[in-house]
Amino acid sequence: MRAKRPRGIGLQLALVAALAAAASPSRAQSVPEKDAIISQLSRFDAAPELDITSLRQRVLEKSRSRSRNEPEPSKRPPIVPELLNLPTVTLDIHFDTDTPVVRPDSYQTVGRLADALVNASLLPYSFLIVGHSDSTGRREANVVLSQRRADAIRDVLVNTFKISAKRLQTLGVGEEQFIDQAHPTSPANLQIQILTVAKLPEQSEQPGQAAAAAPPPAKKPAKKR
């Protein structure tokens, strides 16, 4: 004899599904291919002169400006134009609302980035992690949050995926430099960018080249017995 299902179980399951859907991120998660990341970040030509500390101060001061002649968000010039021509990959990484906490569903994306960064093609380079925001909320708060989120990605790469901290710098630009300039409130502006910024001097030679160029050590004469 089949046991009878308690009445209302269908409504309970429907309610649970609705709550789960409401709790999930509004943006669909997109995980990039490792080869695509490598291809985009390896197109490095020349290193720009970047003073990250000065850039952070420039961005923060701009976010505090209250000029009457300030253009609307969609017409603001980029605060760090030096970054525009660098090899870049844009990643859709989700955070808890108004926090730098990376959501669990984004760890696969960060892991894919880590896999790319340890590929032989990218090992000789260092990178800049750039945090952005849309135009909602206070400008200064958006800069601070974008910096904290960039720092959070760096911490995950270093502490969880064991990427060398020497290869990673961070910069938060908030809403001072949009990813989607024409649409300041677009979710696209919440993404994280990774840029190739320099070639590491200690890894400028291919493995084995230095050893091949060095003369073999001289043999010591055999001792007479």
Cβ of 209: how many Cβ atoms within 10 Å? 10
Q: Is residue 156 part of a domain?
A: yes
DSSP string for 127-194 = EEEEEE--SSS-HHHHHHHHHHHHHHHHHHHHHTT---GGGEEEEEEETSS-SSTT-TT-GGGG-EEE
Q: How confident is the model at residue 67, as a pLDDT?
A: 80
Q: How confident is the model at residue 208, as a pLDDT?
A: 43
Q: Is residue 1 part of a domain?
A: no
Q: Is residue 98 part of a domain?
A: yes
Q: Is residue 224 part of a domain?
A: no
Let me know: does 168 contact 160? Beta carbons within 8 Å. no
Q: How confident is the model at residue 30, as a pLDDT?
A: 78
CATH code, domain carrying 147: 3.30.1330.60
Q: Is residue 140 part of a domain?
A: yes
Three-state secondary structure call for residue 38:
helix
Q: Is residue 218 part of a domain?
A: no
| Number of domains the chain is built from | 1
Give the pTM: 0.78
Q: Is residue 3 part of a domain?
A: no
Q: Is residue 70 part of a domain?
A: no
User: What are the pLDDT digits (tens) for 181-222?
Assistant: 999 999 999 999 999 999 998 644 444 443 444 455 555 555
Average pLDDT over the chain reads 84
Three-state secondary structure call for residue 222:
coil
Cα 161 to its chain centre, rounded Å, is 14
- pLDDT level of residue 122 (50, 70, 90 thresholds): very high
> What is the span of the domain harbouring residue 175?
32-44+51-65+78-200
Percentage with pLDDT > 90 across the chain? 69
Model confidence at 8: pLDDT above 70: no
Model confidence at 13: pLDDT above 90: no
User: What are the pLDDT digits (tens) for 123-170?
Assistant: 999 999 999 999 999 999 999 999 999 999 999 999 999 999 999 999
130 Rama class: left (phi>0) / alpha (psi -120 to 50) / beta: beta
Entry field: residues in the chain = 225
